[in-house]
Amino acid sequence: GNWEILATAAFVSIAVPLLVFFSMQRYLVRGLLAGSVK
Protein backbone atom coordinates (compact mmCIF):
# COMPACT_ATOMS: atom_id res chain seq x y z
CA GLY A 1 0.00 0.00 0.00
CA ASN A 2 0.98 3.61 0.54
CA TRP A 3 3.12 2.74 3.58
CA GLU A 4 5.40 0.53 1.51
CA ILE A 5 6.02 3.40 -0.92
CA LEU A 6 6.86 5.74 1.95
CA ALA A 7 9.17 3.16 3.52
CA THR A 8 10.95 2.61 0.21
CA ALA A 9 11.32 6.35 -0.37
CA ALA A 10 12.71 6.83 3.14
CA PHE A 11 15.19 3.97 2.68
CA VAL A 12 16.38 5.33 -0.67
CA SER A 13 16.74 8.87 0.70
CA ILE A 14 19.00 7.45 3.43
CA ALA A 15 20.89 4.81 1.42
CA VAL A 16 21.84 6.97 -1.57
CA PRO A 17 23.67 9.71 0.42
CA LEU A 18 25.44 7.00 2.44
CA LEU A 19 26.65 5.28 -0.73
CA VAL A 20 27.84 8.60 -2.13
CA PHE A 21 29.56 9.44 1.16
CA PHE A 22 31.43 6.12 1.35
CA SER A 23 32.51 6.24 -2.28
CA MET A 24 33.72 9.83 -1.87
CA GLN A 25 35.44 8.99 1.43
CA ARG A 26 37.49 6.30 -0.31
CA TYR A 27 38.78 8.80 -2.86
CA LEU A 28 39.32 11.50 -0.22
CA VAL A 29 41.38 9.17 1.98
CA ARG A 30 43.40 8.05 -1.04
CA GLY A 31 44.02 11.69 -1.99
CA LEU A 32 45.08 12.61 1.55
CA LEU A 33 47.46 9.64 1.74
CA ALA A 34 48.95 10.50 -1.66
CA GLY A 35 49.31 14.15 -0.61
CA SER A 36 51.03 13.27 2.67
CA VAL A 37 53.54 10.99 0.93
CA LYS A 38 54.81 13.69 -1.42
Residue 13 lies in a domain: yes
Domain that holds residue 8: 1-32
Instruction: Look at residue 38 and tell me whether its pLDDT is greater than 70.
Output: no
pTM of the model: 0.54
Residue 23 lies in a domain: yes
Of 16, 18, 14, 36, nearest in space to 26 by CA: 18
Residue 38 lies in a domain: no
Work out the pLDDT band at 37, boundaries 50, 70, 90: confident
Instruction: Look at residue 19 and tell me whether its pLDDT is greater than 90.
Output: yes
Percentage of the chain beyond pLDDT 90 is 63
Radius of gyration (C-alpha) of the chain in whole angstroms = 17
Average pLDDT over residues 13-31: 92
Instruction: Look at residue 17 and tell me whether its pLDDT is greater than 70.
Output: yes
Split into its structural domains, the chain has a count of: 1
